[in-house]
Amino acid sequence: MENLICHLQGMNGDLLTGIMARVDGSDLASVACTCSELRDIARDQSLWETLCHSRWPSTALEETERLISGSVQGCFDKFYSDACPLLLYDEVANADSCKLPEGQKITSYTSPSDLLSLVDVCYKKKCVLSRILDGIPEAVDIFELGLVDSSWEMIADEQQKWFLNYPFKLELMDLKDDDNDEALASPLSSLNEAGKSREDHCKKLIENLRLSWILVDKKTGKSVNLSSWKPLSVQKVWPYHATYTMQFGCVIPVEESLLPQKLARCMVTTRFKMTEREECLQWREISMRIENIEGAHVNGWSSLMILNKALYSQRSTNQFKVEAGFRKFDKQKKEMSRRRESKEALADRLFTMEKGFPKVLGKMRELIQRRDFRETWVEPYGFCTFIQNTILQ
């Protein structure tokens, strides 16, 4: 077998480092697998630090940089490998939602005070907003109190009970429409091009606005990006006002003990007002919440458990696989909605029949008791238990 020769081995080390500084993260990781000489250069933390600062400017802040550099899990290369791929949902991930990736174990849960949120918003690959949020304000440390099971429902403290039961929402900012904070205005010099009307802005925002919300465990250095590569939705709040709402997010497979459908969706919502004259975005809200598959907000206790789960969930750099996971989630959501509407419609019909047509109801009892009818119409649609509880009693 012919030995492969790396022709870059004889090049000057500074020249190689300069070349490596011009490649992206995936290429730099690939270079590290070629030969030992290039591997040492590709593992230079200054290269990965530059990549992280370029992609997520919030990592250049002093607090974040110190945290990543001193992480027990590694440095900037480890942070990049955690935050670059996005959470992946597929059939295998959903079936094995209780299992962690090979070689990973949750030795301890992450307390709310140990979580750090890094939020960066870019327009046409230029950062327009960069913020960090330390911890989760007013959160209850369910892990320190030992409330990781159903015992949390017995808690007596009213303030703690309020957080654990109330729909969870983590706010990076939340301003009223009449607030005028110039510090929260992001200039967009290229937004208002000649010949473009307001109706074009939704499309331009979808194509050019990107957001990342990276959740970091300050103790272990483990991190995860809870956002999506592009907006999931863009909506103009009022037809004649330039206020927009955009949503990003990810799908997180979870245990059945947390959510019966074993699926949660993390939603990052942004709300901003677009000013035509100043050509900038005036931010009004950037927040994150957890939803179940029916779209209902998840409470504080379940949300903390799900965020811990997200730190160890499967992820992928394949954009098509991640988007396919969103489509599967939406399909299941529509199917659940259809089933719920069918059950509600059946309940309404049965109620009407019981009130006005007792004879027909008796005939229906006889029909349902027939095995062939139950196997053909009742059991396949999941109405068996419902019918037994409402008609056959």
> Which of 290-304, 335-349, 359-373, 374-388 shows the lowest per-residue confidence on average (mean pLDDT)?
374-388
User: Which pLDDT band holds residue 309 (cuts at 50, 70, 90)?
Assistant: very high
Please give the Cα distance from 93 to 252 (Å, whole number): 9
Give CA angle at 57 (320, 304), nearest 5°. 65
Q: Is the pLDDT of residue 322 over 60?
A: yes
In angstroms, the CA 201 to CA 210 distance is: 14
Spell out the residues 6+ positions from residue 14 whose beta carbon is closer than 8 angstroms to its own: none
Q: Chain centroid to CA 77: how far?
A: 22
Quick: pLDDT tens for 64-93: 877 777 665 568 888 888 999 999 987 665
Mean pLDDT of the 318-323 span: 88
Q: What is the dihedral of CA 133, 135, 138, 141, to 10 degrees?
A: 170
- Residue 103, pLDDT above cutoff 90: no
What band does 43 get if pLDDT is binned at 50, 70 and 90? confident
Point out which residues pair with 108 in neighbouring strands. none
Residue 381: pLDDT band with limits 50, 70, 90: low
pLDDT number for residue 1: 40
Residues 286/270, Cβ–Cβ less than 8 Å: yes
At residue 306, the pLDDT reads 94
Question: Can you give the pLDDT at residue 2?
Answer: 47
Q: What rounded mean pLDDT belongs to the chain?
A: 77
pLDDT tens track for 249-295:
999 999 888 888 889 999 999 998 877 655 678 889 999 999 999 88
Q: What is the pLDDT of residue 118?
A: 94
Q: Burial of 153 by CB count in 10 Å (0-12 exposed, 13-18 middle, 19+ buried)?
A: exposed
Sequence length of the chain is 393
Lowest mean pLDDT: which of 51-55, 158-162, 282-286, 325-329? 158-162
Q: Report how far residue 88's alpha carbon sits from residue 324's, in angstroms, rounded to the nearest whole number.
A: 9
> What are the residue ranges spanned by the domains of the chain?
13-62, 85-317, 336-390
Tokens encoding 94? 């959903």
pLDDT in tens, 200-231: 578 888 888 999 999 999 888 899 999 998 99
104-124 in b/e form (b: 16+ CB < 10 A) is eeeeebbbbebbbbbbbbbbe
Burial of 86 (0-12, 13-18, 19+ CB in 10 A): buried
| Distance separating alpha carbons of residues 350 and 389, to the nearest angstrom | 12
Q: What tokens appear for 151 in the block?
A: 């015992």
Which residues, other chains included, contact 392 with Cβ-Cβ below 8 Å and sequence gap of 6+? 365, 368, 369
